[in-house]
Amino acid sequence: MMVQACGVDFGTSNSTVGWCRPGQPTLLALEDNKSTLPSVVFFNAEEDRTVFGRQAIGEYLEGYEGRLMRSLKSILGTGLMNGQTEVNGQTVRFMDLLTLFIRSLKQRAETQAGRSFQHVVLGRPVFFVDDDPVADQLAQDTLADVARLAGFTEIEFQFEPIAAAFDYESRIEREALVLIVDIGGGTSDFSLLRLAPERSQRLDRLDDILANGGVHIGGTDFDKQLSLNAVMPLLGYRSRLKNHTEVPSSYYFNLATWHTINFAYTRQTQAELRAVYADALERDKLDRLLRLIEQRTGHWLAIQVEAAKIDLSGADQCQLDLSEIQAGLSHTIARQEFDQAIEAQLLSIETTLQRLLNDAQLRADQVDTVFFTGGSSGVPLLRQRVAAMFPAAQAVEGDRYGSIGCGLALDAARRFA
């Protein structure tokens, strides 16, 4: 029997919707026959319309005037959530921006399924906000409010790594102690669970969850560090002024962080930069920065950096085309530079995994399987470091973009059957 509930994985970088149907794929096609919808909104000022996903990125790169917004999930749990921003001359609440995207997810899924969905299990990271339970609960409550505004009436939540575990459990033949390693766009989440085919139909799995952990580090943080270490120096980051101080770093941090790129486009920022330019020792680099800001190509640059990160997962080096900033400008990035750039983030992930083992009162050699999922789980150095921590475990590759959505759909079927 087909259930009347869906699972929604609202991701920092990509989102999916799953629905359990006999003999049918779990994930619904959301755009161009693909099950993922990039978590991107573009407000097209020229044609006065709002578009999402790949279409949003495409129209932005084609040069349409407007406002591109990405990594909206990163706003949850921050002070920005109660604020507003200017979109094509109008003031829009961030709450309404998230609602627009979730509503689009729901409508696309319903069109593909040929039915409406009122019941949903939403995925959530182990921690929206590190070390602040009150802010973390507020972030979940806010996402629930967004889901109601988007049209859902019955809303439940499940930790994203546990949802991935449910997906993996549907394919195993015997009991195993499994570590779920979910490296998404905005968070790294981990769960230690005891999984088995005979346990899979239980609604209450509390006794099987040995420990949960997470840290607010993900693919967008890897992008940011790669940008700051390998790209922003070409625009004057850490260059000097005549008084031997550095050019203020805030401009570069804003441009290297998806949800703050637009802060670099304000008139105040441009005025400040022109004053800084007068005292700069390397004006050619500041010329590039000013040109990027005046042309509002910060999102274009972030897309190039993200593509470089992906290329470096399979190659020792990649070539970054920066001709939009300066004709003929390109830059070679070696994987070693990327590895060095994300060292602090990897140390934090290792610390979180060790804390997870301590919480579960287990040794690393007792873990049978490490199940990798999430779009950023393929970073080679990350895989090496996790393998070194769990040398006796079998490494299993999940669907990087689909395991959580499938698991949430299974959970929705159990909860709302």
Note the pLDDT of residue 130: 84
Q: Tell the burial category of 327 from Cβ atoms under 10 Å away from its Cβ (0-12, 13-18, 19+).
A: exposed
Q: Does the structural domain 5-174+399-416 have CATH classification 3.30.450.20?
A: no
Torsion of Cα atoms, 349 then 260 then 306 then 231, to 10°: -100
Q: What is the total residue count of the chain? A: 417
What is the torsional sign of CA 230, 234, 237, 242? positive
Q: What is the pLDDT of residues 132-156, one digit of tens each?
A: 899 999 999 999 999 999 999 999 9
Burial of 13-37, coded b for 16+ CB within 10 Å and e otherwise, reads: bbbbbbbbeeeeebbbbbbeeebbb
Of residues 405 and 205, the one with the higher pLDDT is: 405
Closest CA to 353 of 180, 235, 107: 180
pLDDT at 97: 94
Span 39-83, pLDDT tens digits: 999 999 999 999 999 999 999 989 899 999 988 898 898 888 888
The single residue listed with the structure tokens 């766009």 is 185
Per-residue confidence at 333, pLDDT binned at 50, 70, 90? very high
State the chain's mean pLDDT as an integer: 94
What is the domain partition of the chain in residue ranges? 5-174+399-416, 220-341
Is it the case that residue 1 has pLDDT exceeding 70? no
Q: Convert the pLDDT of each residue in 172-231 to its tens digit.
A: 999 999 999 999 999 999 999 999 998 887 777 788 999 999 999 999 999 999 999 999
- 8 Å CB contact between 40 and 68: yes
Question: What pLDDT sits at residue 257?
Answer: 93
Beta carbons of 42 and 59 less than 8 angstroms apart? yes
DSSP three-state, residue 214: strand
Confidence of residue 2 (pLDDT cuts 50, 70, 90): low
The helix (run of H) or strand (run of E) holding residue 135 is: helix 133-150
